[in-house]
Structure 1
């Protein structure tokens, strides 16, 4: 079965160039010798960071998938950057200069928003209304694509003194804004090139014009589909890369792995079909399906990378090998927001809804 080719997510004119670019620089990105944003700037020249801003999201998910099949760091960076673009689209704002071209980086610092909406954790950046805007204090434990002058989008809990409760805002800041400190996370198992770190806000001033919206649930409803679909595509691409590698080693140990491989291929095809269906009409995607897909593709990526290691053998255990890199990359998926625990918690709520029909969609308030 060495001639097995894993069916790609979707074909597009620039696909071979995208695959070649990611493959050529995968090792350099993994070792920190090259930034994944160098790759993103290259594909941005063909408009591949702004696909699906209206209508079908399939072409954009395909780019994320293809990048991740060769280099998960670049696939992940594309997801975070493309999510930032979706945030501005959701509120009808023009994109900040350089975002479409990746000369300005986009950072999604939205994990706390989704956790609070799900009821599993508070927003830890607090806002105080001041003349001309809002002042921020607090922390965000993890954000990525943290490059100089980059655009960051985050949720803020703003105390409403008149009504005695906190309002939820979505705001944008620049990385270089006074009062924002970044502690970068180094020596990660993988994805070191993604420039991830903890953000600390100390009296950071956000002018009124940089408050993107005060409609917290409405905003989440609009961005959930692109957020999870491009993320799911990056996970599925990682799985596909592992399965393609494993396909060349199925004769080992008397072919004992062939039946297991066929089972993994069937799972891959099912999830591929689900991703394509949901991405074709993201505005109609049900939240439950989006969450389940994200959980399932992360499980497949974990299983597929370990399967690759089993079939490739000892050479895959060499730290610098593509096999070892994919195994390390897959270990990130359970902790990537939404985390394994977050996904399972929200899906359990659907299961415990006493069998009532699922009405919630990505276009309805979450």
Structure 2
């Protein structure tokens, strides 16, 4: 199994995340600062080759970096996931010109990258049709008209973003994936969605109406083939959020008073063992490429991690006792962190693909195997 030392974050970033975690969860006042803060720490460069402006390492290193941020703020880790996933699409794209044009600003945090491919991932699993449409405007298909809407995309930073989305095409042409810049004509971002948590994640809906774009913005000409290759990184980077949040919740239990710690020690140790084992399985599958041919194995890991997050958050709440149910109390500032982590944990099962969708996919996979 693949093991990896936990990613260490710069002390100034840790201080910033801890100071703003509550505000990022409950409001958008500091939403514009997240991408620059993460970029200043060099986090977007992790897992990117040095020749491309990165700091080296692999996708697994990037997952660990997301986990490290999630220990302090899941809203920030969610933004990190969106940015790093878009970067991953560029790294896996055959469009070298697009990569060279967009990557420097993304790595430096000068532009936000958003993954609008949740709809496409559900399309890949036959859960829903594509909601975006591309029509060629010339015989050579060098320009396209884009139309459609996506109801939920994270890291649509108002100061500037580029979003990846999949579009069906006419005449039995395979769906394609395009990168769409925020300032293209016909691109409209909604107001931030009224989330119950993670409100500083710049999450909004996106509408394209008659947006014209040329082929230089195409990430992949065959969306299905690309998504099969990209899905392990998409889900793996997403799992970083669960890994980090579970680790932090278990750490809170271990840091509680002696009597509480003794009462919860066995349950916390069992969860820690399960977490470490699933994390190792995830890293091995991502590093070896095994999840490309065996996506169900990664679905199982994602489901298992979400269940561990839920159990760890409950232990966190038990360790805090009544203090963990207080909205605010100057005497027990850590109680706010406990409540926040429980709100964050409630998000993990519904992030696309949701646990219900994954469980349905696993059931279908098992039926197919039995047949």
TM-score norm. by structure 1 comes to 0.86
2:81 is matched with which residue: 79, 98, 107? 79
Tell me the distance in 2 between the aligned counterparts of 1:338 and 1:254: 35
Tell me the distance in 2 between the aligned counterparts of 1:338 and 1:202: 26
Tell me the distance in 2 between the aligned counterparts of 1:57 and 1:17: 24
Tell me the distance in 2 between the aligned counterparts of 1:238 and 1:302: 10
Check if 1:121 corresponds to 2:128: yes
1:245 is matched with which residue: 248, 252, 255? 252
Query: 1:153·1:173 contact (CA, 8 Å) conserved in 2?
Result: yes
1:306 is matched with which residue: 307, 314, 317? 314
Change beyond 3 A, Cα 1:246–1:269? same
Tell me the distance in 1 between the aligned counterparts of 2:9 and 2:308: 27
Tell me the distance in 1 between the aligned counterparts of 2:260 and 2:34: 39
Q: CA deviation at 1:200?
A: 1.5
Higher helix share: 2
Tell me the distance in 1 between the aligned counterparts of 2:263 and 2:241: 29
Q: CA deviation at 1:308?
A: 0.7
Residue 146 (structure 1) aligns with: 156
How big is each residue's C-alpha offset from its partner over 1:279-324, in whole Å with a ceiling of 9 and x where there is no partner? 4x15343422222211111121122112211121121112350111
Q: Secondary structure at the match of 2:368?
A: coil
Summarize the alignment of residues 26-105 of structure 1 with structure 2, pairs less than 5 Å apart: 26-32=21-27, 34-35=29-30, 38-53=33-48, 56-92=58-94, 93=96, 94-95=99-100, 96=102, 97-105=104-112
Q: CA deviation at 1:69?
A: 0.7
Check if 1:176 corresponds to 2:171: no
How big is each residue's C-alpha offset from its partner over 1:108-128, in whole Å with a ceiling of 9 and x where there is no partner? 000111111111101111222
Tell me the distance in 2 between the aligned counterparts of 1:332 and 1:42: 23
Q: CA deviation at 1:140?
A: 0.6
TM-score norm. by structure 2 comes to 0.85
Q: CA deviation at 1:57?
A: 2.2
Q: Is there any run of 5+ residues in structure 1 with no aligned partner, and where?
A: 1-7, 357-366
Tell me the distance in 2 between the aligned counterparts of 1:37 and 1:291: 33
Check if 1:236 corresponds to 2:243: yes
Q: Is there any run of 5+ residues in structure 2 with no aligned partner, and where?
A: 50-56, 329-335
The alignment yields a C-alpha RMSD, in angstroms, of 2.4
Query: 2:25·2:197 contact (CA, 8 Å) conserved in 1?
Result: yes
Which segment is superposed worse, 12-21 or 329-338? Answer: 12-21
Query: 1:232·1:294 contact (CA, 8 Å) conserved in 2?
Result: yes
Check if 1:346 corresponds to 2:361: yes
Change beyond 3 A, Cα 1:133–1:33? closer
The count of residues paired between Structure 1 and Structure 2 equals 344
Q: CA deviation at 1:185?
A: 3.8
Tell me the distance in 1 between the aligned counterparts of 2:251 and 2:298: 25
